[in-house]
Structure 1
Amino acid sequence: MSAAVSAAVPATATAAPPPAFAGRATSVEGSPVREILALTERPGIISLAGGLPAPELFDTEGLRAAYDTAFAVSARRALQYSTTEGAPELREAVAARASARGLPTGPDDVLVTSGSQQALTLITATLVEPGDVVLVENPTYLAALQCFGLAGARVVAVPCDAEGILPDALADIVVRERPKLLYTVPTFQNPTGRTLPAARRAAVAEIAARLGLWLVEDDPYGDLRYEGREVAWLAAHPGAEDRTALLGSFSKVMAPGLRLGWLRAPAALRRAAVVAKQSADLHTSTVDQLAAAHYLRTVDLDAHIATVRTAYRERRDALQNALSRSLPADCEWNLPAGGMFFWARLPEGHDATALLGTAVAHGVAFVPGAPFFAADPDPRTLRLNFTTHTPAEITEGVGRLGTALAEYGGKRIGGFNAGGRP
C-alpha cells in the first residue's frame, strides 16, 4: 500500500462489511434430507432416510476395468478437456438405450451432464426467469424445489392423487397461471413412489401442446421396475415431442460417484442448455465419460440392472412385511412397483418431524415428508427408503420405528404394542 493510501485510511478504522449475498442465496433453505443423512452416520443407526443405491451391488470390477481401458486406449484424451456436449461414444450409447425404450433418439439429441441434477439446473437456467410460474407435483423432489427457488420462480403445486397428476386440475392451473413449465417425476416418483398411468401421460402431453407448456420429465428410477409393465416416457406421447426435456441418470444403475447424467431435449432448448453448461463447468469429466462408454460397450448393463432389481425387490417386500407387522392399523403406506421409496402417513394428530428425534434415539431414521410439499404440507407423512439395507436390517429398523412411534404417541393409539397391531 502506498504512503498516500496509508495516510488516507486510519489504522483504527473499522473495515466496511462486504456487500450482502444475493437474495436467492438466503431465501432458499438447505436440504433437510442432507442434514438427516449426517445424523445417520452415528454408529448403530439403521437409516431408512437416504435415496442411495446399495454400494455392495456396484459392479466395482467392471467399472475398474472400464477406467483401466479409458487410460490404456488414450490417457491423453481421458485427461484432457472435452466438448461441452459430451463424448460422442457415450452420447451414442445413451441414444441407443433411449431408442430401445421406444423413444427414437440420435446422439445429437443428447447432452451429457454432471448428474441429472445438473440437467435440471441447466433447463431451469435456460427457461425460468424471476417471477415465472413453475408447476410441480405435490409433493415433489426436494432438490427441484430448491432449484426453482434459487431461480426466483413462483412454484405452484398441481393437485395429485395416489396415481399422480390430475389432468383436469392441470389444465385449469395452466389456463389460470400461464406457467413456463411443468416438472414431473412420473415413474416411481421421489418421494411417493407412485407412477403416472399411460392415459394420464397422454392427457398431460395433450394439455401441454394445446395450452403451450414446456415439460420437464425427470426419470432417475425408471430402470428399477419390480413388477408390472413398462410405461412409455411422457416424452414419447403425441404432443410432447417438441416441448419435453427428458432427464436421465446413471447414478441408480451404475454408481452415483460417477456423476453422469444426460439431457434429451428439442434442438433449440438443447443448444441453449449447452451454452448454460459452458458457463457452469465447460464439460462433464472426460475420463468418467470414456470409462462409462467403455463399460456400456463391454458389459451387459441390463443384466446388471436385473441383478439390482432382484435384490431391491426382496428389500421392498421386506419393508412391506415389516410395516404390516410393526405399525398400527391407522398408519397408511403404498407398495411401489419400482424405485426406492415408500410413502407413509402416521395416525391422525401425529407429526413425523417431531417423531424423528424419538426414532433416532431408538436407532432408526427416516425423512419427514413435509419439506417435499410445494403447498399445504402434510405433517403426518414420511419417506422410507429400502435399497441400502438387508431384509433383516430393514425388519429390525421398522421394529425400532414401531417402538419409537408407540413411545411418541402411545396415548393416541391406545393399547398398541410395537411388536404388532393392537
Structure 2
Amino acid sequence: MRAEVDRFRRGAALAALLGEWSTGPGPLYRKLADALSRVAEEGALEVGERLPSERELARSLAVSRSTVVAAYDELRARDVLDRRRGSGTRVNGRNRGPRGDGRVRGGQGTAIFQRLIDGPGPAISLACAADEAAVEVGQVMREVVAKDLDELLSEPGYHPHGLPALRQAIAERYTRFGLPTTADEVLVTTGAHQALGLLSQVYLRPGATVVTESPSWSPCLDIFREAGVSLVAVPLDEEGIDPNGLAAALAEHEPALLYVMPSFHNPAGVLMSSARRRAVAELASRHGVAVVEDNAYAGQNLSPTASLPAPLGAYAEAGSETLTLESFKGIWGGLRIGWIRGPVGIIERCARRKALADLGSPVFEQAVAARLVPRMEEIGERQVVSRRQQCALLERLLADRLAGWTWRRPDGGSSLWVRLPDGASADVFAQLALRHGVEVIPGSTMDPSGAHDDHLRIPFARPRREVEELVDRLALAWTELRRHGPREETPIRPIV
C-alpha cells in the first residue's frame, strides 16, 4: 500500500506540493490549511498518507509550530485529516476529488513543472532558467516559410526518426566535433527531456541503479525515479564528476546507467575537462555501463575564448554505449527540438517508443532546427557577451546585498549555484522567500540523497530590473530569517 511509504517524513517534500501557499491575505494557519486541503482534494496526497509532524512541517515552512497545529486542527474540523494515536496525522480521503485533474504529483521536480503549468504568478520564480529567443530563430522561421514551406506541405509529415535534413545536419555537426556520426545514429525528439525519458524506457527496470552527479537536475532525476530505480550520487569537483567516487560507485552498484552533464552542468555550471571525460569513458567501459551525457546547456559558454572538448562519446572505446543528448535550450526553449546520438540499435529502440508516443516531432520546427544546427556555435559565441553581463550583474548585486553567500563563477550555463552561510537551510529560506515574492528551488531537490540543503540555484538570464528586484526581495527574506527566524503566529480561535 503506497500510503505506508513515508513520503513526507521530511517536511520539505510536502512543501514542494503547496506552491505559493503563503501569499495573499489572511492568517498563515488558514492559508496553510487551505493549501493542504487543495492538494488532498486534487489527489496529490494519497488516502491514508501520513503528514509530517507539526514540528517538522513548521521547520520546513519557516512558521511556528502553533501555526501548523492550528492548520491540522482546522483540517480535522473540515474532515480532511484524521489524527490517530501512534500513527500520526493522515489524509482520510472523505473529501478527495476525482483523479485526472492534471496537477503534477510527486517527485523533487514538482514545483518546477507545476510552475510551467500554472504560468506566471505574482512571485518572481527561479524555477525556470531560460531566456528569450535568439534573434536568429525568427530569421530562420521566416526563411523556412519563404523557401521550404511548399516542400514540407507536399509530403505527409510523419517522421518518427526525425526530419532527414535535420538528422543529417546533426550528424555532420558531431563529425566536425571529433565524434564521427551518421544520420542513422540520430533520433530527433521533442526536447532533451523526452530523449531522457525514451532512454529510461529502454535501459531501466524497477530495482535497477542509476549513478548520477551530486547535485543534478531534479526533473531529470524524477524520470529515473518514475522507473522505480535507485539513485546513487557521486560528488562533483571543478573538472566534473569525481573519478574516485565514480569508480567506487560503479564497482559497488553495477548500475544500468551513468547519467552526467559534461558541458556546463546544471546547476553547478561546471565544464568537464577533456582528461576527465577520458577517465569517465574508460571507467564506464571497464565496468560495462552505458553512459548518458546530457549536453542541453552545451551552447551556453561564459568564456569568449574557451572551446568545448569533444563530446564524451568521442572518448569511448569501440563497443561502448554512450548516448549524447542535446537541444536548443540555449537558443530558445520554445523550440522543442532535441535529439539522441548513439548506437544504431539503441536509436531504433528509442524510435519505436517515440513513434508510439507522438509519431514524430512537429515538422515545421524540425525544418527550422535543420537550418539552425550549422549556426549553433556562431549563435552561442554571439550570446557570450550578454550572458557574461547578466552573470556579472547578479554576482555584483548578491555580493552587495547578501554578505556571506558564496558561489563558484560558472564556466557556463544560465545560473549561479549559491551556498548559504553557516549551514542555513535552503528549504526553510525558500518558504520565507516565498512570502517576499520569490519562488526559490532549494538545493536539496537537486541531490538524490537530499544533500546540498544549504544551496540555491539562481538563474541570471532575465531582465536587469527583474534581477535587481529579485535580489532586493531575497535580501529582505534573508534579513528576516537571520533576525527573527520562523514567523510566529497565535491563531485566533472562537470560543463557543
Among the aligned pairs, what percent are the same residue?
32
Q: How does 1:120-269 map to 2 (within 5 A)?
A: 120-227=196-303, 228-239=306-317, 242-253=320-331, 255-269=332-346
Counterpart residue identity of residue 286, structure 1: V
Could you say what the CA RMSD is over the residues aligned between the two structures, in angstroms?
A: 2.7
Structure 1 residue 72 and structure 2 residue 150: aligned? Answer: yes
Q: Distance in 2 between matches of 1:88 and 1:279?
A: 19
Instruction: Report what 1:320 is aligned to.
Output: 395
d(CA) in 2 for partners of 1:375 and 1:164? 18
Does residue 399 of structure 1 match 2:472? Answer: yes
Q: Provide the rounded CA distance (Å) in 2 between the counterparts of 1:215 and 1:72.
A: 40
55-64 or 191-200, which deviates more: 55-64
Q: Flag the 1:151–1:48 CA change in 2: closer, same or farther, 3 A.
A: closer
- Read off the aligned partner of 2:189 and give its amino acid letter: T
Is residue 235–residue 245 contact of structure 2 (8 Å, CA) maintained in 1?
yes
CA contact (8 A) 1:201 1:234 kept: yes
**Superposition deviation, residue 68 in structure 1:** 4.5
The answer on whether the counterparts of 2:108 and 2:219 sit within 8 Å (CA) in structure 1 is no
Contact 2:187 2:351 in 1 (8 A): yes
> Do structure 1's residue 41 and structure 2's residue 120 form an aligned pair?
yes
Deviation at residue 26 of structure 1 after TM alignment: 6.9
Secondary structure, in 3 states, of the residue corresponding to 2:456? strand
Match of 1:418 in 2: none
Residues 303 and 163 of structure 1, relative CA distance in 2, 3 Å threshold: closer
SS for the counterpart of 1:395 is helix
Q: Secondary structure at the match of 2:231?
A: strand
SS in 2 for 1:246: strand
Cα distance in 2 for partners of 1:90, 1:163 equals 32
Over 3 Å counting, the alpha-carbon distance change for 1:400 and 1:240 in structure 2 is: farther
Match of 1:352 in 2: 426
Post-superposition shift, 1:169?
A: 1.4
Contact 1:70 1:287 in 2 (8 A): no
Corresponding residue for residue 111 of structure 2: 32
Q: Report what 2:381 is aligned to.
A: 306
Amino acid at match of 1:402: A
Q: Spell out, residue by residue over 1:36-68, the C-alpha distance to the aligned partner (whole angstroms, 9 max, x if none).
A: 56788234x444441212247563243233245
Q: Which residue of 1 aligns with 2:351?
A: 274
**Counterpart amino acid of residue 288 in structure 1:** E
What is the CA–CA distance in structure 1 between the aligned matches of 2:296 and 2:274, rounded to whole Å?
18
Query: Structure 2 CA distance, aligned partners of 1:401 and 1:55?
Result: 27
The 1:389/1:56 distance shift into structure 2, 3 A limit, reads: farther
What is the CA–CA distance in structure 2 between the aligned matches of 1:172 and 1:398, rounded to whole Å?
41
Using the TM superposition, give the Cα deviation of residue 161 of structure 1 relative to its aligned residue in structure 2, in angstroms. 3.2
Tell me, what secondary structure is at the counterpart of 1:258? coil
Partner AA of 1:308 in structure 2? Q
* Correspondence list, 1:378-397, <5 A: 378-390=452-464, 392-397=465-470
Structure 1, unaligned runs of 5 or more: 1-19, 413-422
- Contact 1:208 1:240 (8 Å CA) reproduced: no
Mapped partners of 1:37, 1:87: distance in 2 = 28
Of 51, 74, 80 in structure 1, the residue corresponding to residue 129 of structure 2 is 51
Q: Residue 8 of structure 1 aligns with which residue?
A: none
Q: TM-score, normalised by structure 2?
A: 0.71
Looking at both structures, which has the greater relative contact order when contacts are Cα pairs under 8 Å and sequence separation is at least 6? 1
The alpha-carbon distance between structure 1 residues 36 and 287, as it changes in their structure 2 partners (threshold 3 A), is closer
**Cα pair distance change 1:311/1:135, threshold 3 Å:** same
Answer whether contact 2:140 2:368 (CA < 8 A) is retained.
no
